[in-house]
Structure 1
């Protein structure tokens, strides 16, 4: 049975759709992906639909690092009077995920636990030119702890995921509980169905694995705003 984990649309990391999970990729897994992001899925800085792309590497079974770029439009940056238009710049940030506990590590029903962060600091743009964790850059800043447990139901198995997220952003605060359920049907394990609450909105989505390397992901934020992407996954020897 192929094993498929999901890459989050916004952050380019392992997780559900927008909410974190405690699942990890296999050791030495590399993911290259790109996504269309509906403006309803992004921080308020993106008042328009945009795109991102990312590189994600699971350096060790307990450590994952990602580098994600999200595109800016020239009009939003005030560059149109200078002859620029369309997507001309990008926001860049790193994400880090560290597995603290493996599922079933000490007893049968123990959930996996992961500590993670994305865009953990602000480089510029704060008040009076000072660095600030509440505004400026660091648009996708978040810190979280996530737990995941896979529960067998006859021949089937569902994943139950819960996390707590926080940051200090004024424009995009994340301070609350997120939760989700994932399901890979035994008769077609290449398909993964996901329902989640990401501490802000409810979302439904799915991922589908092709040829054991290429997968597509779709999401409906608030069950009506579409985002989607593709990723290529392989493992280093």
Structure 2
């Protein structure tokens, strides 16, 4: 069984070298929050191919995003993410615009670590609270808007505990997500399992439930700087990305 997992992970990592990464532009699993944090003063610049199955319903087509992420302190991470719109989504005649990417949705994300793993007790999990796209400027401006922009709005609390199994390492991740949107409601539990094989320490194989769908994928850190991610949403729809990490400290 372990050999099969390693083979799958290796294949996924090879594919993700040529595709695209972090779907919200923040640290986490694939599309689900976790309580893991980057090293202090880590800067990440990246982008993703986003299958329409993983985006809010306003995107009826595959799209792309790109982001800048900075871990300002060991307990604070901030990101700015842009997701591309095609002409027909923003009211431009698709016959004139020919369905080209002509605009973008922009939003901030923030993650704050409340507890380190094992901070007070040996088996205590790490805990992080965070939000993505929390504020919309459409209308009078609202928090977790029911409509308008704020398409990627989500608030969450996440817990993570890593468990050594022999030389192997398994991560258990549990989170609760919420927003008030009618078109892309998030209000429930999410979670996942990550597996880091000892023979490929930079590879992580992940299975998750993002409160809507099940997904499977992998991440790989190449040369300590290039981080790649591949994901099969609903076990069949591909999303993936690349991120370059810069360590200022």
What's the TM-score, normalizing by structure 2? 0.88
Superimposed CA distance per residue, residues 55-95 of structure 1 (whole angstroms, 9 cap, x where no aligned partner): 00000000000000000001222213694340010000000
Q: 1:166-185 alignment to 2 at 5 Å?
A: 166-185=178-197
- From 63, 69, 76, the equivalent of 2:82 is 69
| 1:105 paired residue among 119, 134, 137 | 119
| Partner Cα separation in structure 1 for residue 197 and residue 51 of structure 2 | 28
How far 1:179 sits from its partner (Å)? 0.7
Q: Match of 1:93?
A: 107
For 1:143-182, list aligned pairs within 5 A: 143-182=155-194
Deviations 1:183-208, CA, capped at 9 Å, x for gaps: 11001112110000000000000011
Contact 1:70 1:92 in 2 (8 A): yes
Question: Are residue 24 (structure 1) and residue 37 (structure 2) matched?
Answer: yes
- Say how many residue pairs are matched: 227
Structure 2 residues without counterparts, runs of 5 or longer: 1-19
In 2: Cα distance, 1:148 partner to 1:202 partner? 18
Give how far 1:215 is off.
1.7
Give the Cα–Cα distance (whole angstroms) in 1 for the partners of residues 95 and 217 of structure 2. Answer: 40
Aligned partner of residue 53 in structure 2, secondary structure: helix
Report how far residue 10 of structure 1 moved: 2.4
Q: Is the CA contact (8 Å cut-off) linking 1:10 and 1:42 kept in structure 2?
A: no
Query: Alpha-carbon deviation of 1:178?
Result: 0.3
CA distance in 1, matches of 2:241, 2:248: 23
CA shift for structure 1 position 130: 4.1
- Provide, for residues 177-236 of structure 1, a one-character-per-residue CA deviation record: whole Å limited to 9, x for no partner: 001001110011121100000000000000111111002110000000000110100111
* Dislocated runs of 4+, deviation >4 Å: none
Residue 195 of structure 1 corresponds to: 207
Q: Which residue of 1 aligns with 2:235?
A: 223
Partner residue in 2 for 1:117: 131
Pairwise CA RMSD: 1.4
Q: For each residue in 1:27-54, what CA deviation from the matched residue of structure 2 results, as whole angstroms up to 9, or x when unmatched?
A: 0000000100000000001010000000
Provide the C-alpha distance between the structure 2 equivalents of 1:8 and 1:135, rounded to a whole number of angstroms. Answer: 27
Higher mean alpha-carbon deviation, 181-190 vs 52-61, is at: 181-190
Q: Distance in 2 between matches of 1:57 and 1:44?
A: 29
